[in-house]
């Protein structure tokens, strides 16, 4: 067996000891010179494919952003990022998987705002705590939803809509994609500001809403700012306002609620999260790489195509503050209006 550091022979004790001490010193020097490389070698990340859980179906909003980001992360980090679609239960199923996963950076979450900030108040019996069990890593996009009406509705902007509806309490229904959805709570926030009265009709999906609006079954709705754009451009729907702090890049003519005199400062967003306990080094690396991907021409084109605004770049700490602020805002709307999922 070969000995890398052999003991000195009896006939050359002093020289052997000097060689041994020199060798040991060189090994110590090498470790001291490059401790970062030594640490990475001992704890490589990612060391296997990364599971990226998306609490939505293939082709859904979060899925459309998660896939190109996952593809680029795989190229940069040298391991595949595999999308795992887990729709259902307003995001609770997918979020719970990640909240309970090992915090080693190999299971991550790519989700939308409502699954974290609205569920935190609306779903008191969740099997996890969204603020305690999930670490915000990076925010992706920041936009809003359209308040849309049918072409025959007698309003051309948000002010005339409020005036018309206020003079006809309970005369109109409005649709959203479910109890506790962003569309539902945005209208409830507008009702709190203005005193208007409309009845809520929850649908399962936005495409169902758009279909019924074209058929005249419902005349008012909050809808997403992507799938509704072709109908708006064709004159089959009219967008009166967009919630959030920014106009959609593909529909710059549609003013925000705030610009029209009805303050609303909360954005919808997508975001990446990690299980609590994930190392700060992994979180910071993911944040830097995703923000770099978002700045690429290809991703900017996707944002334009899907009518999603790009907010300022945020650190994990800044994104975490956004999450906390949104939980406070939406929690107040839910509690004030006594909204429940029952």
Last-in-domain residue among 227, 242, 257: 242
The predicted pLDDT at position 22 comes to 53
β-strand partners of 53 = 84, 109
CATH code for the domain in which residue 181 is found:
3.40.190.10
Domain extent, residue 225, equals 146-242
Last-in-domain residue among 192, 227, 242: 242
Over the chain (342 residues), what is each successive 10-residue block's mean pLDDT? 40 53 49 45 84 91 92 97 92 95 98 92 90 97 95 97 97 93 93 96 91 96 93 97 94 97 93 98 98 94 90 94 95 91 74
The predicted pLDDT at position 89 comes to 84
Q: Does 308 lie in the same domain as 227?
A: no
Q: With H, G, I as helix, E, B as strand and everything else as coil, classify residue 231.
A: helix
The predicted pLDDT at position 178 comes to 87
Q: Does 215 lie in the same domain as 131?
A: no
CATH code for the domain in which residue 84 is found:
3.40.190.150
Strands 107-112 and 268-275 turn out to be antiparallel
Give the H/E segment covering residue 200: strand 199-202
Q: Which residue has the tokens 């609006």?
A: 213
Return d(Cα 112, Cα 92) in angstroms, integer: 11
* Number of domains present in the structure of the chain: 2
The predicted pLDDT at position 40 comes to 45
Q: Has residue 82 been placed in a domain? A: yes
Q: Has residue 308 been placed in a domain? A: yes
Q: Does 238 lie in the same domain as 152?
A: yes
Q: Does 157 lie in the same domain as 123?
A: no
């Amino acid at each position: 067996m070969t000995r890398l550091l052999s003991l000195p022979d009896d006939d050359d004790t002093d020289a052997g000891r000097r060689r041994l001490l020199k060798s040991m010193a060189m090994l110590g020097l090498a470790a001291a010179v490059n401790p970062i490389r030594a640490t990475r070698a001992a704890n490589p990340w990612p060391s296997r494919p990364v599971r990226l859980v998306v609490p939505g179906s293939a082709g859904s909003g979060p899925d459309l952003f998660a896939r190109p980001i996952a593809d680029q992360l795989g190229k940069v980090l040298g391991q595949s990022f595999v999308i795992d679609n887990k729709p259902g239960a307003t995001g609770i199923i997918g979020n719970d998987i990640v909240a309970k996963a090992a915090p080693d950076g190999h299971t991550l979450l790519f989700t939308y705002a409502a699954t974290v900030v609205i569920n935190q108040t609306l779903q008191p019996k969740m099997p996890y705590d969204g603020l305690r069990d999930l670490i915000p890593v990076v925010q992706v996009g920041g936009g809003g939803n359209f308040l849309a009406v049918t072409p025959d509705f007698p309003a051309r902007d948000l002010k005339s809509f409020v005036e018309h509806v206020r003079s006809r309490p309970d005369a109109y229904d409005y649709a959203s994609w479910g109890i506790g959805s962003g569309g539902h709570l945005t209208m409830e926030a507008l009702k709190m500001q203005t005193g208007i009265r409309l009845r809520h009709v929850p649908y399962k999906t936005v495409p169902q809403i758009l279909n019924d609006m074209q058929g005249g079954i419902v005349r008012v709705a909050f809808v997403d700012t992507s799938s509704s754009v072709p109908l708006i451009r064709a004159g089959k729907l009219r967008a009166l306002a967009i919630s959030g702090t920014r106009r959609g890049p593909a529909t710059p003519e549609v003013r925000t609620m705030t610009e029209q005199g009805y303050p609303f400062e909360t954005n919808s967003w997508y975001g990446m999260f990690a299980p609590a306990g994930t190392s700060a080094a992994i979180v910071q690396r993911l944040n830097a790489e995703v923000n770099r991907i978002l700045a690429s021409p290809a991703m900017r084109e996707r944002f334009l195509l899907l009518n999603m605004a790009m907010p300022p770049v945020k650190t994990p700490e800044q994104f975490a503050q956004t999450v906390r602020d949104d939980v406070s805002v939406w929690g107040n709307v839910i509690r004030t209006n006594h909204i429940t999922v029952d």
